[in-house]
Structures are given as structure tokens and as C-alpha cells.
A and B are shown apart, each in its own frame.
Chain A
């Protein structure tokens, strides 16, 4: 059974604060690590697909890093805005394919104006 853990479970920050969350995953049989942003009643939005150890990706104020040897990824949000409020999910792909994803429970971020 693959175990993907995310921490913290929830987080409240003030507008303008920078924040980060952690995703830990099995370091064996790694193929890719996915980050999604999920707002209530909307489709999960794909943020990043990361495959190489040491990968760093950036999309606006959001960035992510990947360490496949120790099995963790960090997601950073710089200068949080209320519209960043959402659940951030990471998902682990193994077995040579991106198709079957094992998800963590997510980190619920609330940004207070």
C-alpha cells in the first residue's frame, strides 16, 4: 500500500504571508509527483508535474521542489492572497506511468484578508 502524507492538514494565514506545505511519498519506484489545487465545487486544477530529483517549478507566486531520494516535495506560496484559499493535493505516480495516482489527504489553506 502506497502512503502519501501531507502536512499540515490545515493552515490559516494572513493575506501577504508566505507559506509552505509538505508532501511525503515512498522513495522507491518513483515516476512523478503531481500537485493540484482544489477549490470547493470546482475541478482540481493541475499545478505541477515533477519527475526529476532536484526539480524546481514555478507558476506565478506558487513554486514547488522535489526530493525523490528522501521522498518529499514542498509547495511554496509567496505573498498569499484570499483567492489562494483552497485544498492543495499532492499525488504520487509510480510503476512507470502517470496514469494511476495515489493522493494525500491534502492541505486546506485559508487566507484571511
Chain B
């Protein structure tokens, strides 16, 4: 199994600003992913964080809005750029193999 931590656990931000979320895994994992859960919605995959290359984004998500870094096999960051109230969500990272393990999430409120 893998233990995943995220920072910050929660934040309240003003519209137009950006927030970077960090994800740390306690062991090397090949694949890391970023999800978000908007209020009343399901967990939705934003992108695959690829080590050493650009992230792969799902339909509806773009690099300019959600830039992702993956400098090594245990760490990734997601930035939520130029935030609006619609970005208020829980953001989770995951990693692993046959079983995907999740971080505890970052609860973001944009005013």
C-alpha cells in the first residue's frame, strides 16, 4: 500500500488568485493522478501526472488552468490558476498500481 499526504488540507482563496496543492507519496509510484469533486458531483479525473514529461489532461481540463508538475516518482503539484467560485471543490491526488491510493484531499473555497 501507499500513504499519500496533501498540503494544504483546506484553504479559502480570493477569485483571480492561484493555489498550488502538493502531493507526497511515501513510496515510488509509476502513475499519479489528480481528481476533483465539485459539490454534489462525483470524483472527476483532471489529469495524469507524468514524471519527466507534460501531464495528460482529460476532456474539459487544460494546462493553463491546472498546471501540474511531477519532478520525481513520489511528488506532484497541481496549481489551480486564476480561480473563480466554480473552482470550489475537493482536490485529491492518487497514486499506485492495481489499487489506487488517495490523499485526504484539499478543500478549496473560492470567494
Contacts and interface: CB of A to CB of B under 8 A. Distances in A.
A99 B104 contact: no
B51 to A, nearest CB: 14
B16 interface: no
Most buried by B among A49, A91, A103, A106: A103
A31 to B, nearest CB: 10
Contact of A49 (B33, B35, B41, B99): B99
Interface size class of B (residues with CB under 8 A): 20 to 34
Contacts of A98: 97-100
B104 A101 contact: no
Nearest to B97: A98
B45 A101 contact: yes
A2 to B, nearest CB: 11
Nearest to A106: B42
Given A43-B104, A43-B105, A99 B42 contact: no
Contacts of A32: 98
B104 A103 contact: no
Interface of B: 4, 9, 31, 33, 35, 40-45, 48, 92, 97-105
16 contacts: A36-B102, A41-B104, A43-B104, A43-B105, A44-B92, A49-B98, A98-B100, A99-B100, A100-B33, A101-B43, A102-B45, A103-B42, A103-B43, A103-B44, A104-B42, A106-B42
Interface of A: 4, 32, 34, 36, 41-44, 46, 49, 89, 91, 98-106
A-B pairs with lowest CB-CB distance, top 9: A103-B43, A44-B102, A103-B42, A105-B42, A43-B104, A43-B102, A46-B99, A99-B31, A98-B98
